Structure 1
């Protein structure tokens, strides 16, 4: 480990700039870029600490609460008041707003937005351009231009990134990542305060999912260890019915827990809405376009309706075209590849060669699906989505379609065409074991390898620049430089639309599909999934705390498109398991294929009825959350009504007084 000599300070943002290697800026010749940047940071109220590293200089930034409050007021952030109404924040009335659980005014997501507003909001307010200098380079800062944006385009500001708070990070390491006594319990509120809503929601979902897995895991082990004799063919359908009921109930109760968490975190969200965080997630481009459309509609021109319809259908046709490209790519390119693997696996006799073929296949398919994900990202850029959340959901659906094909088509090939249940179970076991090993190996080793390589290059280049022999060893003398060399928490398909949680949810969805779609063939798979997820909670916590930079907070308040994917997998699992049961009963000779199929079709319809019936029986929102939301809405309506009446009364009184004076 590198020696850290820096005393802890709660700086929250870091800016990377090059070290000054020359001092050739004379009077009247220009201004040093870094000096101007530091002066501008001071001018907007930020506290700056300059740290010199091996190759770069780091500006650590901290904003006092008064400065954050003024930035929040400029951004017109909506916050919860003590009467339960969300209104725009005003620093002069700060005491009227509810504080966070840790006593602060703003959440981490709100603070990050305020920092971005202050950092990128520094513009040249003079009427003429300012010449800046950076190591003999001239930079022309035009009037009205953002300073940080200009320096980023000139590669002077290399990066702006959030910093870890070492005290809170170590506390989370102790009570969360390294705490193995609580298998599924996690400090969700502390995770939310440190990382934001999206990461806290993921770990809340992972913890609840793992806890609920204990029931099917015990049931599956019971079926594997106990010989039920002639009742075996009745126990397996009963197990299947219980599994479907379990899955439906789990997601209904997850929706309830999600709404409870949002109420506890003071986040406004209505059940059934397409997008939570409406105000925080709205981009300026979509906001201005919406305002422009409203203005156009108000002009009263005859062609307005046609323009709206043209833009609406052109956007829909663009999305349809992109979806068609992905579907055709799956059918024409990936499907033959998957069937070829399944055929080779069936023809190979050696178990060792089968295991090796599966490992090579899973390793190779990672690059294929990552390439498909990058193509999907490029296609999504042409779509007219409302905001980043809609674009991210579109990406999730497209990429999961690729992974769905490569994960399950080979197994379905064994199940339906060959009806070889022993081979099917071997494939499921190998897929679960190899995929988990590969995923954990790549997730935990690649970040450390990237960090070690960047550190090695930095130290090597430092030694090369030192003239003459030197016995002094180069090392990092600041924690901020160590964080800078850590990799970003980004998705494998790119960081533009999604962060690292994309891969985490994808792994969970593929695991859920594997154990659900082939539950009747291999019931103990639920036990393996439960043990794997217990370890996954700690591994993901350790990875995000120690191996990556502090992630940029995302505003998504639910698991978004992944919920629809999980529910889609439940419906698919009903169909696949009914096919497996038909094959199983026909293979055992207990049923003829005709009555067997009839019974399976009846079971399929009953399970679909259970699936959609339970969705209505269990409400998605607890009554106390709904009552609290309705109370807040009623109070807001009453306040608006009273204020409106005062304005009308005041205006009428002024009108009457003015009329009397005229008479």
Structure 2
């Protein structure tokens, strides 16, 4: 894909520009300074290969880069890559063979290539001594000295979009080995997914596959507990099921950490914060901060002034985040909580099952709109925060939006459990929520992108017929790049500013995990429904990414981030909620007496909380081979730097002696 080893160039980026205007007498309009022609010339000068494709209403510039061009861009960006001696060093084209390759054999990952493409495309600036006049269809505008050409053309509406293109060969291979491979229902070519989509999507599907495989155990046990009548032993079976489920969930997350560490080692990704995720301090990017001596000189010679500046920045950032969290919490309590309790009360009062189902559908549609609106408000609040890097900003958004969804998903169920203690109604609510929510997310994943794509194709055909005045039959799209342009982007429902479409996929998974865990004792069969849904979800999400959506913009990620903390929180909540469910089952009269059975439940709760936190000590977060490899790399780095330091010191001493002589 990098054009190495004699491979054919693959066009990975597309730029959408207006079609060339046709003369009245035939032929294309040719005028000096045509901005599209200037753009093509400048892209060629940067070493990029351009393929021009004319669509129905627009023209597309397909961009490819040889390995040498990407290597030069990587060197200019000082992209740090792991070497064969275990040290991460800034890339240099002359020493390319010393750097480790990707799992697919390419020199650069998709994320690194995309960064290089951005640098090459947006790095075209006017280096002349004066402004350049650009023209397009009678319009004129100036390209100022030192200004980016692409950004100028984007502001003028000449470049409509710049987006990644699918690689047809690799896309079809992934369709065969991933989307259409049903023989092993949890098998996924994770290395290929990482190479094609990047680390963030690769980590997500690795977690989804592991979670689905591990779900087989609680699904089988839950099916037996739900369907088999154990008679008087039922009160003993449920606590055992409860204990096993909590231990299963805690082990799942702990072993996921081990798998995550192994993936990062295999993909040569160091879990560190890079320059692109720069910290901000006093208005400066952390990566561009001066050395300590210069910083002290800037702030003053007194250490107290330096300390005060750091403390002021730290506490002001905490205050802003705390203020925004309070706003979200108060909004939930004052606005959403009454709405949730009103729904729960109506559901309890209504006697018809059909009306209950209709009420649940209407309720879910309304709260989906409320949550998306709340998510957009959260984005605006986060933009006013002082977060250390882009990852912290994204995590802050995840916590706020999940708080909204957590309230709307579970508060009505808590109402049935704690106030009415109606287990029959509780099971009905759980079944309806699981089925309706899974159907909703499936329709959102598959149908909505396809409907958007179909509508956009209809609009383009209608516009083409209107321009040509043709009354011919159906107009066909001859170019693949135009079809990809009309496909929806992989974006989050709350906006693409901080998160991509994985936000919604992770949110769906977290809500499902909370639903099946927190009410496991009331409805053990929920694990079966969740397992079937996840097996289907792996393939439908693969088809969505490969067929109905554009190729996503790669994002840097080493873990599942805040979602792991949310899952840990849900396990703790499930210990509390399932203990409350068991108490309700044992204490049918509602007197809350501490009898032997109730005392045993309280004891189980405390033991499970201790075990949940103790398992993190029993199960190491890194496999032994990953730790050994890391230690080996650190040792090699220390040896190399020590030898280099000794040579430098020896050279300086020798030069001083020669001067003295």
TM interval, short-chain normalised: over 0.9
Deviations 1:414-463 (A, max 9, x none): 00000100100110000000000111112211101111111111110111
Aligned residue number for residue 539 of structure 2: 538
Q: Partner residue of 2:391?
A: 389
In structure 2, list runs of 5 or more residues that go unmatched.
1-7
1:19 to 2:19 alignment: yes
The residue correspondences of 1:33-72 to structure 2 (distance < 5 A) are 33-72=35-74
CA contact (8 A) 2:584 2:590 kept: no
Q: Distance in 1 between matches of 2:391 and 2:612?
A: 28
What's the offset of the Cα at 1:603? Answer: 1.5
Partner of 1:631: 632
Aligned counterpart for 2:274 among listed residues 275, 278, 286: 278
Report the CA distance between 1:657 and its aligned residue.
Answer: 0.5
Identify which of 372, 375, 378 aligns with 1:376: 378
Q: Are 1:297 and 2:300 matched, yes or no?
A: no
In the TM superposition, 1:391-470 aligns within 5 A as: 391-467=393-469, 469-470=470-471
Residues 22, 29 of structure 2: 8 Å contact kept: no
Counterpart Cα distance in 2 of 1:395 and 1:301? 39
Asked whether the 8 Å contact 2:445–2:540 carries over to 1, the reply is no
1:287 aligns with 2:276: no
CA-CA distance at 1:647 after TM superposition: 0.7
Q: Give CA-to-partner distance per residue, 1:45-97, whole Å, 9 cap, x none.
A: 00000011111110000000011011111111111111121111100111111
Residue 169 of structure 2 is aligned to residue 167 of structure 1: yes
Distance 1:472 1:525 in 2: 50
SS at match of 1:31: coil
Aligned to 1:192: 194
CA distance 1:516–1:643, shift in 2 (3 Å): same
Q: CA deviation at 1:288?
A: 5.5
Cα 1:479–1:346, aligned 2, differ >3 Å: closer, same or farther? same
Q: Distance in 1 between matches of 2:449 and 2:639?
A: 54
Quick one: structure 1 residues 283 and 453, their matched pair in 2 at CA, closer, same or farther if it must change by over 3 Å?
farther
Alignment match, 1:641: 642
- The structural deviation recorded for 1:200 is 0.7
Partner Cα separation in structure 1 for residue 590 and residue 500 of structure 2: 51
For the structure 1 residues 517 and 257, does the alpha-carbon distance in structure 2 shift closer, same or farther, using more than 3 Å as the test?
same
SS where residue 62 of structure 2 aligns? strand
1:202–1:559: 8 Å Cα contact kept in structure 2? Answer: yes
Cα drift, residue 9 of structure 1: 6.9
Deviations 1:548-592 (A, max 9, x none): 000000111110000000000000111111111111101289994
Q: Provide TM-score, normalisation by structure 1.
A: 0.94
Q: 2 CA distance for matches of 1:123 and 1:97?
A: 31
Deviation at 1:290, TM superposition (A): 5.4
CA contact (8 A) 2:178 2:188 kept: yes
Classify 1:564/1:123 alpha carbon distance in 2 versus 1 (closer, same or farther; 3 Å). Answer: same
| Counterpart mapping for 1:56-455 below 5 A | 56-269=58-271, 276-282=272-278, 287=285, 291=289, 294=292, 295-299=294-298, 300-302=300-302, 303-455=305-457
Distance in 2 (CA, whole Å) between partners of 1:424 and 1:36 is 66
The number of residues matched between the two structures is 645
CA–CA distance in 2 between the matches of 1:645 and 1:298?
A: 30
- 1:312, CA displacement in angstroms? 1.6
Match of 1:587, SS state, is coil
Counterparts of 1:15 and 1:186, CA distance in 2: 32
Moved more, 99-108 or 523-532: 99-108
Partner of 2:620: 619
The alignment partner of 2:580 has SS state of: helix
Give the drift of 1:598. 3.2
Are the aligned partners of 2:70 and 2:113 in contact in 1 as well (CA < 8 Å)?
A: yes
- The answer to whether the 8 A contact 1:30-1:131 is kept is no
Partner in structure 2 of residue 498 of structure 1? 499
Q: 1:71 to 1:290 in 2, by over 3 A?
A: closer
Whether the aligned pair in 2 keeps the contact of 1:281 and 1:555 (CA below 8 Å) is: no
Q: Distance in 2 between matches of 1:424 and 1:559?
A: 32
Distance 1:508 1:472 in 2: 44
Question: CA offsets per residue over residues 326-369 of structure 1, 9 Å max, x none?
Answer: 00000000000000000000000001111111111011111000
Q: Which stretch of the first structure deviates more once superposed, 338-347 or 150-159?
A: 150-159
Is the 1:78–1:89 Cα contact (8 Å) retained in structure 2?
Answer: yes
In structure 1, the residue matched to 2:548 is 547
Query: Is the Cα contact below 8 Å between 2:9 and 2:64 reproduced in 1?
Result: no
Distance change >3 Å, CA 293–CA 353, structure 1 → 2: farther
Contact 1:491/1:499 (8 A) holds in 2: yes
Query: Are the equivalent residues in 1 in contact too, given 2:278–2:287 (CA < 8 A)?
Result: no
2 CA distance for matches of 1:435 and 1:538?
Answer: 18
Runs of 4+ in 1 over 6 A off after TM superposition: 26-29, 588-591
Give me the whole-angstrom Cα distance separating, in 1, the residues matched to 2:29 and 2:373.
Answer: 53
CA change 1:524–1:588 in 2 (3 A) is farther
* Structure-1 separation of matches of 2:217 and 2:87: 41
Q: Deviations over 1:588-635 (max 9, x none)?
A: 899945555433322211010110111110000011100100110110
Contact 2:133/2:142 (8 A) holds in 1: yes
Structure 2 residue 480 is the aligned partner of structure 1 residue 479: yes
Give the aligned partner of residue 3 of structure 2: none
CA distance in 1 between partners of 2:476 and 2:446 (Å): 24
CA distance in 2, matches of 1:488, 1:591: 54
Query: Alpha carbons of 1:293 and 1:153: their partners in 2 closer, same or farther (altered >3 Å)?
Result: farther
Cα deviation, 1:390-419, whole Å, max 9, x if unaligned, reads 110000000000000000000000000001
Q: Secondary structure at the match of 2:129?
A: coil
How big is the shift at 1:152?
A: 0.8
Contact 1:339-1:413 within 8 A present in 2 as well: yes
Where 1:322 maps in the other structure, the secondary structure is helix
Moved more, 384-393 or 373-382: 384-393
Q: Give the match for residue 273 of structure 1.
A: none
Per-residue deviation, 1:655: 0.8
Q: Quick check: 1:22–1:135 contact (8 Å CA) kept in 2?
A: no
CA displacement at 1:305 relative to structure 2: 2.6
Distance 1:376 1:27 in 2: 49
RMSD across aligned positions (CA): 2.0
User: Whole-Å Cα distance in 1 between the matches of residues 35 and 450 of structure 2?
Assistant: 33
Contact preservation (8 Å) 2:387, 2:393: yes
1:244–1:607 CA contact under 8 A, matched in 2? yes
Higher relative contact order (Cα pairs below 8 Å, separated by 6+ residues): 1
Structure 2 CA distance, aligned partners of 1:21 and 1:27?
Answer: 6
Structure 2 distance, partners of 1:316, 1:340, is 35
Alignment partner of 2:588: what SS? helix
Name the structure 1 match of 2:570.
Answer: 569
